[in-house]
Amino acid sequence: MHANIDLAYDSHVHFFGVGIPAVQWRIAEAEVKLNLPKHLEQKKIIKGFGWSNKLPLSEFTKLTQSHPDKEFCLSYFDGHSSFISNNLIERLGFKSQNHKILKTGIIIGEVERDQLIKNIPHDNAQELREMALFAQKIFINNEINWVRHLTAREDHWTCLKSLESEGLLKLKIELFFSEFMGQSLDEAMISFNKLKPQTSDLVSASGIKLFYDGAFGSKTAYTSHKNSVLPRCSKKELEDKMKVVFERTKAPLAVHTIGDRALEDVIDLYTKMSKSKDLPTLHLEHAPLFSKKTIELLKVRKLNCIFHFQPSHWINDQLWYAENKSELQEHEIYPFKFLFKHGYPFHFGSDAPVVDCSKDNMIRGLELIEADRSASSI
């Protein structure tokens, strides 16, 4: 079943995020040391995810006290909530409405994090260049030569095309322009339409990306669990966004759907839209949980869908699942055999830098999925 999976293709990454800064931590009794790439050692604002592990809440105080000259905006859990240090909050004059207070900063959710990011200047052209080369090295070292970048902006495109023209780009990179980190959907669509004609073999303007729900770790996935939170926008708002993307760009559309209810909504909307006309491809991102309704919809009518799974995430997500699966409606996790049988393509991605892009992580995640599936199949 997995014989057709291209292990040299990482189908879900945040490419420039891998270079900003792929932070590694070394926690000792009397020391917290930042192990930064050289191109980031002098930067005042440290953005990133923690490459090799996620820093526990108890260590944020040590980190900020050990590096008082730095300001921190660091992803926590699974990329959908972040630690923001007090000195950065104060400098930006940012006011949070919903946060967890720590001694030296706060934890905020993805929506507020995106608002805060708008007040931080984008990395300049030279910084983007260094980040891209650093990220490229990480992927190549992991024997990956083709990636799909899900949070693209126009300056990302300009950087990659420049590297391509200089013969320094060694990866094939698909860019999906996203309503993310301060970029509006309108801006994403304008960039896509402008840059699509400049697509080359190595750098392609491939689609638009929307976010519907959050993640298990930050408890913002939209699931059938009785305590689930609502998604980032209503189903009607999502429908309007999907329609405008198809009408204004004719572009393939990727939608972030982690919870079973989120995936069900997106598949339901796309099914109804597809009844009247052929639509560009719908890419479903993450999609670890399929409700019974979703599976029936995919059975009844063959849809123009591609699924992008992140098995590595299950290493952590299975902890949430073990505690909550009894509260979910009837469902199946990662139904690879079903999709294969019904002709739906699927690929594997890492979600780097939220998760390390190593193949060992992916294989370990697949082993855990196989172990868990037998207890939850419909």
In tens, the pLDDT along 201-225 reads: 999 999 999 999 999 988 899 999 9
Q: Which of 369, 265, 255 is nearest to 310 (CA)?
A: 369
> What tokens appear for 286 in the block?
């993450």
Please check the confidence at residue 79 and state whether its pLDDT lies above 80: no
- pLDDT over threshold 50, residue 325: yes
pLDDT for 308 equals: 97
Q: Give the model's pLDDT for residue 80.
A: 80
Weakest-pLDDT range from 91-105, 125-139, 169-183: 91-105
Amino acid identity, residue 103? K
Residue 337 makes CB contacts below 8 A (sequence gap 6+) with 1
Name the pLDDT band for 372 (thresholds 50, 70, 90): confident
Q: What type of residue sits at position 113?
A: R
Residue written as tokens 């509260």? 327
Q: Could you give the residue range(s) of every CATH 3.20.20.140 domain in the chain?
A: 9-15+123-373
Q: Whole-angstrom Cα distance, residue 51 to residue 120?
A: 22
Q: Looking at residue 109, what is its pLDDT?
A: 83
Amino acid at 10: D
Q: Are 329 and 291 a contacting pair, CB within 8 Å?
A: yes
**What distance in Å separates the CA atoms of residue 216 and residue 221, rounded to the nearest whole number?**
5
The three-class DSSP label of residue 199 is: coil
pLDDT of amino acid 242: 98
Q: Is there a contact between 175 and 157 (Cβ–Cβ < 8 Å)? A: yes
Q: Taking CA 344 as the corner, what is the angle to CA 343 and CA 346, rounded to the nearest 5 degrees?
A: 130
113-122, 145-154, 239-248, 280-289: least confident range: 113-122
What value does the mean pLDDT take over residues 284-308?
A: 96
Query: So what CATH class is 9-15+123-373?
Result: alpha beta
Token reading at 179: 């309503």
Instruction: Give the three-state DSSP class for 357.
Output: coil
Q: Is the pTM of this model over 0.85?
A: yes
Q: Residue 52 — pLDDT band, cuts 50, 70, 90? A: very low
CB 171 within 8 A of CB 136: yes
What is the bridge-based pairing of β-strands 71-76 and 45-48? parallel
Report the DSSP pairing between strands 282-286 and 305-309.
parallel
End-to-end Cα spacing for the chain: 19
**Is the bond into 280 cis (omega within 30 degrees of 0)?**
no
Distance in angstroms (rounded) separating the CA atoms of residues 307 and 309: 6
Q: Which residues, 6 or more positions from 199, have their beta carbon under 8 angstroms from its beta carbon? A: 205, 206
Structure tokens at 2: 């997995």
What does R_g of the chain's alpha carbons equal in angstroms? 20
CATH 3.10.310 domain residues, the chain? 21-117
Min mean pLDDT across 10-24, 136-150, 281-295, 351-365 is at 10-24
Give the pLDDT confidence score for residue 49 in this predicted structure. Answer: 67
In angstroms, the CA 344 to CA 32 distance is 47
> Taking the CB of residue 290, how many other CB atoms lie within 10 A of it?
24
> What percentage of the chain reaches a pLDDT higher than 70?
91
The residue assigned the tokens 């300049």 is: 124
Residue 376: band (very low, low, confident or very high) from pLDDT cuts 50, 70, 90: low
Helix ranges, the chain (H):
57-66, 86-92, 110-117, 125-141, 154-165, 185-195, 235-249, 260-274, 292-300, 314-324, 336-341, 359-373
Mean pLDDT on 38-56? 71
Instruction: Of 11-25, 58-72, 295-309, give the range with the top mean pLDDT.
Output: 295-309
Q: Under CATH, to which class is 21-117 assigned?
A: alpha beta
Reduce the DSSP state of residue 27 to 3 states and report it.
strand
SS3 of 60, please? helix
Q: Determine contact, residues 45/67, Cβ cutoff 8 Å.
A: no
Q: What is the pLDDT of residue 143?
A: 96
One-letter amino acid at 57 equals: L
190 or 118, which is more confident: 190
